[in-house]
Amino acid sequence: MTEWNKYNGSPCQIDFITQSKTDIAYILGDEQYSMPPCRDRHVVKNVLRAASHYLICNPHPLADMIHLQALTGQPVFVKVDRDSCENKINMIYVTTTPDWNIPGAEYSFSSFEKEIEFKE
């Protein structure tokens, strides 16, 4: 889980930050800023020199799919399997405005129909 970490400028923190492949958010005074990933230790130390906290931004696991769907408006198949009291809910629907934050849901650009395996 993403969380704010107190910044102390230690070599270990600088190593961790320079190895990030995602944006780094940081707090200076009462303001929050962000910077793209950076491998240069001196740049990171200079940018964060007065920061009180930093956060490594974790990308959404469906970021590529979300981006593609937003660009194209392509329909998305959503599969939800849930236990509700004593009933099992299995639902598949198609939408052009998906809720990307349904716990346990699966998302696909193609239907969830079972693939038929052919044997010779």
Inform me whether the pLDDT recorded for 116 exceeds 50: no
**pLDDT per position as a tens digit, 54-88:** 999 887 889 889 999 999 999 999 998 876 566 66
Contacts of 79 (CB under 8 A, 6+ apart): 91, 92, 105, 106, 107, 108, 112
Structure tokens at 100: 């990307």
pTM for this model (two decimals):
0.54
**pLDDT per position as a tens digit, 3-27:** 899 999 999 999 999 999 889 999 9
